[in-house]
Amino acid sequence: MRDRVNGTSPQPVPSQLFRSVMGSFPTGVTVITTVAETGGPVGMTVNAITSVSLEPPQLLICLAKSRYTASAIQSCGRFAVNFLSNDQKEVAGIFASNAEQKFSTVGYHEGVLDLPLINGSLAIAECEVSNVIDAGDHLIFIGEVVSGRATDGMPLVFFRRNYGIWKAA
């Protein structure tokens, strides 16, 4: 670590400031779905996602270690990314909640990996976990994409704690 003139080391910023800084980067909104050990569908709203590699096709998601969905993915070894459309704000809210039966009012079908895929999503990627990295209070799951599709439509957008819609500049 670099020495400071006054001999003190830089300290991490407070989490509230970190949230404000990162919230200034607009993202799409996804729901990560998987299958619980009981066999039922589970999922959570996630915007910490990025493409990693083209060959092989890989993406990553960052999930809080404390979340039920993170434990379920560790046991199941696979997950789906449901990229939400601009008319799925309600779906984002349901999957960001602590509700026990998140799928009771959300329609879904099964994909090639027998994962629950949310009807009406803008795009979908089905992934097999190829690596899990421990990062602070989160786990980074790297998934190899074994199936994907994208449809016409517009995305749901998240910026500074608010949902919005995308508009061409």
Ligand X SMILES: Cc1cc2nc3c(=O)[nH]c(=O)nc-3n(C[C@H](O)[C@H](O)[C@H](O)COP(=O)(O)O)c2cc1C
**Which long-range contacts does 49-54 make (Cβ < 8 Å, 24+ apart)?**
49/81, 52/142
Say whether the peptide bond before residue 57 is cis (omega within 30 degrees of 0).
no
Q: Does 157 bind ligand X (CB under 6 A)?
A: no
Among 35, 44, 113, 125, binds ligand X (CB under 6 A): 44
Burial of 28 (0-12, 13-18, 19+ CB in 10 A): middle
Residue range at the interface with ligand X (CB under 6 A); choices 6-14, 58-66, 73-81, 106-114: 58-66
Write the single-letter amino acid at 88: Q
Name the residue with the smallest CB distance to ligand X.
48
Binding range to ligand X, per CB under 6 A, among 18-26, 38-46, 81-89, 108-116: 38-46
CB of 160 to ligand X, least distance (A): 11
Which one of 2-10, 14-22, 95-103, 128-136 is the stretch in contact with ligand X (CB under 6 A)? Answer: 95-103
96 binds ligand X (CB under 6 A): yes
Distances (CA, A) of 12 to 3, 9, 16, 22: 16, 10, 11, 14
Q: Name residues whose C-beta falls within 8 Å of residue 104's C-beta, 6 or more positions apart in sequence.
A: none
29 lines the binding site for ligand X (CB under 6 A): yes
Q: Which of residues 52, 62, 123, 142 is near ligand X by CB under 6 A?
A: 62
Residue 162 sits in the site that holds ligand X (CB under 6 A):
no
CA distance 61 to 8: 34
Q: Which residues here bind ligand X, judged by CB under 6 A?
A: 29, 44-48, 62-64, 67-69, 92, 96-98, 158
